[in-house]
Structure 1
Amino acid sequence: MLRSGTINTIHELATQGKSIREIARTVGIARNTVRRCLRGKREAVPRPKRGSVLDPYKGQIRQWIQQDHLYNCETMLSRLREMGYRGNATILRDFVRPLRPRKVGHHPIMRYETKPGEQMQYDWGEFHYEQEGQDRKVYGFTAVLSYSRMRFITFVKRCDAPTMLRCIMEAFEYFGGLPKAALTDRMKSVFLDMDGKTPIWNPLFADFMASLGVSPRVCKPFKPQTKGKVERSVGVIKNGFWPGVHFTDIDHLNGQAKLWCDRLNQKVHRTTRKVPMDMWVEENLTPLPKEFAWERFGAEERKVSWDGFISYDGVSYGLPADPPVAGSVVLVRERKLELRIYHQGQLITTLTKRPRSHDIVQHPDQFKGVEPVAPLNRTDRPLGHQVAGPVVSVRNLAEYDQLFGVEVSS
């Protein structure tokens, strides 16, 4: 079967007036083959496609797309490199492009830029994972400096107000300073309502921001684009880091997230065309305060059970028997994976935070000096009193007859 190049050469030589013998000698084929080619309209046989360096990995790529919903080619490329792939990114993008779901168009959105050190944006995201066949979730706290695009990410089990304040503290420490303002959604842990044009802030959040000298700001209603930088960052994490991630516990997950975030902050940002780490030097953030300035905002109350345990982030922690705090309320301050337990202003003990939920951590002095069955203080129990009833005399009925002057015939 002739190739298209050979067929074109035969027809070109025939056009030039060459004989069949000369054409056959030039091309290196039989004269009858030249005659058949000039006589008929045979189509050229397509050239067989060569194998691609991506072929051994296409099954894995389809699995990432179909099962993990991973469409980010940069993330795929880094994972394929670890598996031995030596091709370039263009081959990968060409293969993934038709496998992506179609995107719906929308109107353009005006981009807002801020000056160095002016603003930090932060937000929450829900991240689902599978554990023993069941769907579970953690919450991802994401913060980004609006000027340099420096990103921060940490995962937690809760997204309440105390947890949010601790995440903001970690973000400020990661960035190495304080911005002038912090922008987020109108979540209840931040914003309660409007009194005319005056915002009513969550009291705990307002005190926290006031103690740091950072101005709190929230987006306009139904305008999440106001904080588009962090909205985009949450999407980058969901599409670039989360699909197919494997972790043993939340500490392991946060370790991977930090390494991924560090690498991201050293890459050229697609919008600014600059490296966030290089632009971060220009932020000129306000220095961090002393720890005591925000220590009280990372504290939560917990009720101590009668067997001396407190529950914190799904883990039961035992407390020492002295002082006796069973049944009372203690204050738990979390700071850098360390739990400090206070009772009536006094530090009771310091514990290392455990990452796995449902763990039970007994304190070595939890039952020190405590009898196996401790007698309860009876005065603490509701107490009733039993008294002797009235004494009733037993008399002969004839005495009553005599008393009322009644004669009874025998």
Structure 2
Amino acid sequence: MRKDIYEGVLLHIMSETKPNYAALARQFNCDYRTVKRYYEAGISKELPSLGKRNQNKKTLIDDYEAIIIDKLSLGCSSTAIYHFISKKGYSGSERTIRRYCRNIREDKIEKATIRIETTPGLSAQVDWKEDIKLVLKTGEVVTCNIFLYILGYSRMKYLEVTFDRSQKTLFQCLNQAFYETGGIPQEIWFDNMKTVVNRSKSQFTKVVFNETFRQYSKDAGFKPIACRPFRPQTKGKVEALARTMDRLKVYNYELDDKFEFCSEVTLLMDQLNYEEISQATYERPVDRWSIEKPKLKPYDYEQLSSYCTEDQLILRKVSIESMVQHKNKKYSVPINYIGQNVLLEEDGGYLTIYHNGNLIREHLISEKRLNYEREDYVQILQSDVFKHLKDDELERFVDENLKAYDEL
């Protein structure tokens, strides 16, 4: 029962004056017939029981409310929900369900929100930019995804192009994100993706994480948090990063193959991290990263790599050492590829490295931390402090050091 309307008409009942229904309806933001019903109930001494009758009145939706909310949390449309509950006995209209679903969405989305700033090393957010359609110069359409990872305090980002969104691909991307950003935060926020949760959180249920993912998060040492459905603000940082990916649309009809697109994504990541000022912090992410990186937790790369797929293309940037990192090991490439983006493929116990579609190096997968091809090692030494040595001296030095690396 509306106590404000009750009190409004009660004054007229006590003074035996007929109220202006329309004026009271405007005052209490309701229909004039509601005011009239309250007034007539008061005249007939039925006003105290009016609220009880309304409370006991059952609607057609009441028996299906829990089902509707649960299905909405899974992203189901109102039409799909209507047909689903109709098979369970619902006799109302689809319009009623559509209006009920809309009210729930608006109630969840339009609540006031404020920006929450986290402490260094506390959190990160993860999402996908899904099903990107890239048109090559040849007219071929390539469909891909971009894995998005952002640290909460520094806004340091990791981006990776993938051609599926499987759970093993998710683990591989997370492992590389941890490596590139220097460690693992205490908690990571995820969307309700199928590779992470079996059942998302609703008003009546708790989130149920996928068992393999739960074990991965335990081994990695972070607490997974599933965002609430219909509340994109809870992971606003990564949502903003997803919108930034629209910058890549300019490369339609400009690239020869999908590998060039991978390189452009890496260049965009470097630009966002090292050059651009964050609109939220008014600093470059790399500047705040120097504060956050020491707060991140170390992790066992070997243990986490067991969750990953082995036969996929991975984009890496060649370091100033003329090395690329793969599963916490380093492998050499010719020095003229320093600073370039290369693609790695692990297959049959070998790591093959490509640049612009051309094979530039092949290594046997090993447990050694540093894996040099002899030719690459000679080039590296010749380009640095040992360039003054004669060929026979350099060869002897190379032999001794490569043997030492093997023993190490």
Specify the structure having the higher radius of gyration (Cα): 1
Q: TM-score, normalised by structure 2?
A: 0.48
Q: Going by fraction, where is helix more abundant, 1 or 2? A: 2
Q: TM-score, normalised by structure 1?
A: 0.47
